Amino acid sequence: MAKSITIKDIAREAGVSIALVSFVMNNRVEADGKQKYRVSEATKEKILEVARKFNYQPSSAARMLRQGRTHVIGVILSDLGNIFYGIIAKELEKKAHQHGYTVLFGSTEEDPERFDRLVRSFMEKDVEGFIVVPCVGSDAAVERLSKSGRPFVVMDRYHPDFDVPSVLVDNVEAMNLALDALQGQGARNIAMVSYAMRISSMTDREKSFIARLGDEAPIYRFAFDTVDQDAEKAADDIIARGIDGLITASNVPCVAIVKALIRRGIHIQKDIRIVGFDYSNIYDVFNPPITYVLQPLKEISHEAAEYLFRLIDMQEKGEDIRPVKDKIILKATLQ
């Protein structure tokens, strides 16, 4: 096996000190922005030429060890295959890049064991902070995060049993916007399609739906991993009840129920009006298009990222971040 080239080899070949090679390769500057050593362009180019000759790359792991920082954050989302979380991931990565950070992404698929494994794995990789979307059953992992002392922010949902920083939308107001729109389109016999998992976004939307329409208004709850099968069963009941308006609490179950109804000869936006939550590219297929509640994903992502980086900076300065547990609530709009 070929011997790995080290910084000592570069220094020996270039005829300079190890410290000088380290300085050039890591492009180090002092806190005041000035270089610690004066290096002539000729010496600098000689060192870099030797490094290129041996195909030497400085060890980022060693540099991070010296600095005591990784400049990496962990982001744990629900379903990276959903355009909703795809947009969030893109915006979070953009913000992290602006702050000089790299992002490790993980997707739980609403599996608490997977959430726990991701938390443990990211901790082992010494991420400096977390942005997470907790799933049902993730209490132990969220508590571990809370006790770890690492800065973290919850987004899209809140955890009712933990007082933690969170960024989310006003789901009660958003449901009222959706119902106003659906009733404004003439729907009178209204049902709701939701998820069976008891996450805060779903339960808040359901509570608001019931508060407006009463306990007798039907709510169809689909399991996360059997959405299509559950939609097939719900479609028959929706038709039998003569439902003429549907509120869908998320884009994935919306697509599933639309497909199931079409297979049964139902004309979407004619026989049954639909108002959904979150964008899907099928909405524009219909005439009129399906109205939907748009959550401000860019703003949610930026708020969560900026909040996390504030906590990281506070901790780096030796400040106590434990009392900082704001809940930032943003407003959705109707599209």
Residue 222 lies in a domain: yes
Which one, of 140, 129, 64, lies nearest residue 305 by Cα? 129
Same-domain pairing of 203 and 268: yes
| pLDDT of the residue at 263 | 96
Same-domain pairing of 303 and 162: yes
CATH number, domain of 56, equals 1.10.260.40
Domain that residue 201 falls in: 171-294
Contacts of 176 (CB under 8 A, 6+ apart): 208, 212
Per-position pLDDT tens, the chain of length 335: 345 678 888 888 888 888 888 777 765 544 344 455 567 888 888 888 888 888 776 655 455 544 557 799 999 999 888 888 999 999 999 999 999 999 999 999 999 999 999 999 998 888 999 999 998 888 888 888 888 888 999 998 887 777 889 999 999 999 999 999 999 999 999 999 999 998 889 999 999 999 999 999 999 999 999 999 999 999 999 999 999 999 999 999 999 999 999 999 999 999 999 999 999 889 999 989 999 999 999 999 999 999 999 999 998 888 888 888 888 999 999 88
Same-domain pairing of 205 and 59: no
CATH number, domain of 220, equals 3.40.50.2300
Same-domain pairing of 39 and 123: no
Tell me the CB-side half-sphere exposure of residue 283, using CA atoms within 13 A: 21
Same-domain pairing of 183 and 287: yes
Strand partners of residue 167:
155, 328
**Number of CB atoms found within 10 A of residue 127's CB:** 23
Same-domain pairing of 163 and 177: no
Q: Which of 33, 66, 99 is the last residue of a domain?
A: 66
Residue 2 lies in a domain: no
Same-domain pairing of 159 and 203: no
Q: Which of 66, 94, 115 is the last residue of a domain?
A: 66
Same-domain pairing of 139 and 204: no
Residue 1 lies in a domain: no
Same-domain pairing of 164 and 175: no
Looking at the 3D structure of the chain, how many domains does it have?
3
Give the integer Cα–Cα distance in Å for 192 and 205.
Answer: 10
| pLDDT of the residue at 26 | 65
Same-domain pairing of 190 and 241: yes
Q: What is the pTM of this model?
A: 0.75
